[in-house]
Amino acid sequence: MDKILLDHGSGGKLSHLLTTEIILPFFDNTILAQLDDGAVFAIDGRRLAFSTDSYTVDPIFFPGGDIGDLAINGTVNDISMCGAVPLFLSAGLIIEEGFPMDDLKRILASMQAAAKAAGIQIVTGDTKVVPKGAVDKIFINTSGVGSLRPDIRVSSGMAHIGDRIIISGSIADHGVTILTRREGLTFDAPITSDTAPLNHMVRNMFEVSTDIHVLRDPTRGGLGTALNEIAMKSNAGIHIEEKRIPVKDAVAGLCELLGFDPLYLANEGKLIAFVPGEQSEAVLEAMKQEPFGEDACIIGEVVDEHPGKVVMTTPIGGKRIVDMLTGEQLPRIC
């Protein structure tokens, strides 16, 4: 392939290839090679997590949020998925010449509120303005640093046979919201992005069990792609049951109408956790205590079959292999 395609940014199969075959060879080191949501390292014995994400979502304002809180929550969540407590964030703004000052203030206010809700501080930043046409409105990069307890180890490569797979709530809300908004569709049913900070939930989960094996927020590429990455990295077989996966009625209806599979649509306030069977109920209960986890449920488990693959039992009892997302469902979803 001699050109970058939109699919390279899908979060799915081609993204994975771009990362592993083109980018990773240039920067090979054991920390980056983990390919988790963030990097974990120690400085003078103190374990830290560090993560970065650029946000290019279009439209920049959408039901349930905007590019500002999305950017804060996204990096808060990536650090949380390392098992760490997010503490300090950076904000890098790239703004198009002519961008309305009021829109900028609205986005900044949204970032401020999200930072407060997550309990983190934005401590450093950078603002670039580029000529009209060099960027579409505004892109935001956030990076963040968190503190990681010595006794916590989570990684996409640590799924164990017998682990129960918990999801914190309904899937595809963010993806469907952006999709419908971009297509100019409006509905009676209130469909809103699920963008939310998950750090408080994660803290409570670790209070119940430090033996959580995998934490992951299924953003770009959706639940299907995230589970595939975990299955591959852990060389583990994943079995899920379709009827247990929570999808809101309005979201399910729209996906059917428009021909999208909710398994591959982005979530921005959900996590999946792989937890040993005997601790799964306690962790599930801890999640349900949280406002962003009240619909948490167990959707499957890690099995001693089909290593590296995700298999889903359909409502009528059939079995289907869930592959990574191939092709781009929706560019600029986050």
- Report cis status (omega within 30 of 0) of the bond before 59: yes
Minimum separation from the CB atom of position 292 to a copy of itself (A)? 23
Minimum separation from the CB atom of position 96 to a copy of itself (A)? 7
Minimum separation from the CB atom of position 287 to a copy of itself (A)? 26
Cβ closer to a copy of itself: 222 or 293? 222
Picking from 142, 330, 155, 147, the residue whose alpha carbon sits closest to that of residue 236 is: 155
CA distance 67 to 60: 5
DSSP bridge pairs for 276? 163
CA distance 150 to 47: 7
Minimum separation from the CB atom of position 125 to a copy of itself (A)? 7
Instruction: Please report, to the nearest 10 degrees, the dihedral formed by the alpha carbons of residues 74, 75, 81, 83 taken in order.
Output: -150
CA distance 103 to 122: 19
Cβ closer to a copy of itself: 151 or 294? 151
Cβ closer to a copy of itself: 39 or 303? 39
Minimum separation from the CB atom of position 87 to a copy of itself (A)? 7
Cβ closer to a copy of itself: 4 or 257? 4
Dihedral sign from CA coordinates of 325, 220, 236, 26? positive
Minimum separation from the CB atom of position 230 to a copy of itself (A)? 18
CA distance 273 to 270: 10
CA distance 97 to 137: 8
Residues 6+ apart with CB under 8 A from 184: none
Minimum separation from the CB atom of position 311 to a copy of itself (A)? 29
Helix or strand run (H / E) with residue 93: strand 85-96
Residues 6+ apart with CB under 8 A from 240: 165, 227, 299, 300, 310, 311, 312, 313, 322
